[in-house]
Amino acid sequence: MEQTLLYPCVNAHRNFTLLDGLWNMQFDPRSEGIREGWQNGLPEPFSMPVPASFADIFTEKEKRDYCGDFWYETTFYLAEDDARDVLLRFGSVTHRAEVFVNGISAGSHEGGFTPFVLNITDLVRFGRRNRISVRVNNELNETSIPCGTTKVRSDGTKLARPYFDFFNYSGIQRSVHLMRIPEEAILDYDTKITLNGKDACISYNVLTSGGHTVTAEILDARGSLVSDCEGTSGELTVRDARLWEVRDAYLYTIVFRIVDENGNEADKYPAQLGIRTVEVKGGKILLNGRPVYLKGYGKHEDFEVIGRQFSWAVAKRDFELMKWTNANCFRTSHYPYAEEWYRMADEEGFLIIDEVPAVGMMRSLMNFADAGVGGKDTRFFTADTVKQLQENHRSQLEEMIVRDKNHPSVIAFSIFNEPETTYPEAREYFTPLFEYARSLDVQERPLTGALLVNSTPGKDTCAELCDFISLNRYYGWYILGGPELGDAEAAFRREMDDWKKICADRPIVFTEFGADTYAGEHKLPGVMWAQEYQNECYEMNFRVMDSYDFVQGELVWNFADFQTTEGIMRVNGNKKGIFTRNRQPKDAAFLLKKRWETK
């Protein structure tokens, strides 16, 4: 059967066992595991929680910074065969994985931020315990995203050298589900929404693994039937539809069923449905036909000890803090987040710019500085590795869109973050990726990508591919910071005047801007790294943005402090957070809260 990325559910036809917990783990620095038969049992394992990033759990530096092959294993019991397929679903394994079931290879996957599913029906032993073994590799290169390189040190050990400014957290970082679904199953579905006055038309298309009849129905929030239809494709009409709005989310339920020749239900898949439209028109971003101004954050999946593991408690805290500051949007910088983030955003009425992990497309171990200051050009897209990189980029783009396309919270897809886009080869690289993304999304969401400071009018080659332009700009920090803040404002305005000449019908959203600030640091007059200066920097940026009506969004960088690779310009991580890493406010949080009350 074909792979399905639908979120797991439990009903009369489907169930799952969550395999989260303590697994065995072992490092494999010489890549000898396959040769030595580790897929049949690890020789010297230690315990490791799954899901979790492994790095911050250890106290030894060599384990925290480990780069190369490493293994996980666990066992599970499976009852007697009940004529349903057995699927193994990994929420994410960073960055590449090969999975073995009872010593036999079940499949592999490249891409550390999207799920993959393996049909292991023919490999499991019913009525007995079964072993899952996973060989993982977290090395960075220029043929897969995110980009970087791997250094071999004098003692032969490897060190990840990212071209991006966040820590290379790795491991089985999201939940693992052992799923049972019918042999004839619902595999995927699309919805497209059209508003007709007070009514809504929901066109749908369902993919199944068989040929029996499919039915579709929509239930309101109280469970009452409001529309139904028969067929693998069709149209459902909701009269006097309650729309999904910003910070006012109303969710229907759409239910698909497979019905056999005897009228019996063979499979059922329910999902939340938010009725809303999104488009870019007349220089505005429109939600349900009305302009919406994006205000919020670039974020990271990052928290102490657990690294990039999803935590319901951390996510709930983040949403509460975003609501407290009157935000309405965030970008999944710089990779697709755990699916639970999107499900929560659906329920909270938050807007998401969903970003593929196309970051680090510049050969720089200080990418944050080079991208912020400009001037560096490594001709990244002229390398021999570009063809393979593009294939991996395309694959991860497809997995992100297929996974997230039915979330009402997702209003745009971001195809890149801060690549070199100032020469023709960059446009040749990205053009087919934009075209492919448009072919995958029946809702025709806007596409964008975040441009670094070198990508200015007259120099950039890729802004025209975007439905709205996303700019990462650090005037007042990397450019003309500290005592030159006034000069920074003047330089910022000069650039914006140039954008004004070409943005008559295309909005700009600022997807990064801000300044590092060490929590608790105060000084009058304000200086760089003090909280007073962070406020001054934001106030300057806001003055400029408010002067141009084609600016339709501001996503500050960053929601919270986060971990990065060690370096002389990073004091235990990036400190641009509006909140500390343990989610306490800096002074700038109160500035944003007041501004966004009426913005």
Cα distances from 130 to residues 4, 118, 126, in angstroms, run 23, 15, 9
139 found inside a domain: yes
7 found inside a domain: no
Are 433 and 528 within one domain? yes
| φ, ψ of residue 388 in degrees (nearest 5) | -70, -35
Strand partners, 90: 116, 176
The two structure tokens encoding residue 228: 């139904």
Query: Active site includes 418?
Result: yes
List the chain residues with pLDDT less than 50: 1
Q: Of 98, 139, 398, 512, which one is the catalytic site residue?
A: 512
Helices (H) and strands (E) in the chain, counts: 10, 32
Are 136 and 210 within one domain? no
Are 300 and 373 within one domain? yes
Last residue of a domain, one of 223, 241, 276: 276
Question: Which DSSP string corresponds to 20-73?
Answer: -EEEEEEEETT--HHHHTGGG--SS-EEEEESS-SGGG-SSHHHHT--SEEEEE
Whole-number pLDDT of residue 372: 57
Map residue 161 onto helix, strand or coil.
strand
| φ, ψ of residue 237 in degrees (nearest 5) | -110, 130
Identify the CATH number of the domain in which residue 31 sits: 2.60.120.260
Q: Which domain holds residue 243?
A: 186-276
Nearest to residue 274, comparing CAs of 442, 412, 427, 405? 405
Are 92 and 37 within one domain? yes
Nearest to residue 241, comparing CAs of 211, 199, 201, 210? 199
Whole-number pLDDT of residue 504: 73
Are 369 and 423 within one domain? yes
209 found inside a domain: yes
Q: Of 139, 301, 398, 418, which one is the catalytic site residue?
A: 418
Are 393 and 515 within one domain? yes
CA-CA distance, 51 to 65, in Å (whole number)? 18
Identify the CATH number of the domain in which residue 531 sits: 3.20.20.80
283 found inside a domain: no
Whole-number pLDDT of residue 3: 77
Cα distances from 414 to residues 69, 368, 385, 445, 450, in angstroms, run 30, 19, 22, 10, 7
Residue keyed to tokens 């090395």: 139
Are 19 and 86 within one domain? yes
CA-CA distance, 488 to 483, in Å (whole number)? 10
The two structure tokens encoding residue 421: 């886009």
Are 168 and 241 within one domain? no
Are 365 and 247 within one domain? no
Identify the CATH number of the domain in which residue 247 sits: 2.60.40.10
Last residue of a domain, one of 182, 215, 235: 182
212 found inside a domain: yes
Last residue of a domain, one of 242, 276, 310: 276
4 found inside a domain: no
Structural domain total, the chain: 3
6 found inside a domain: no
Are 380 and 482 within one domain? yes
Whole-number pLDDT of residue 369: 60
Are 408 and 423 within one domain? yes
Are 170 and 190 within one domain? no
1 found inside a domain: no
Residue keyed to tokens 């944050």: 368
How many Cβ atoms from other residues are within 10 Å of residue 585's Cβ? 17
Whole-number pLDDT of residue 567: 84
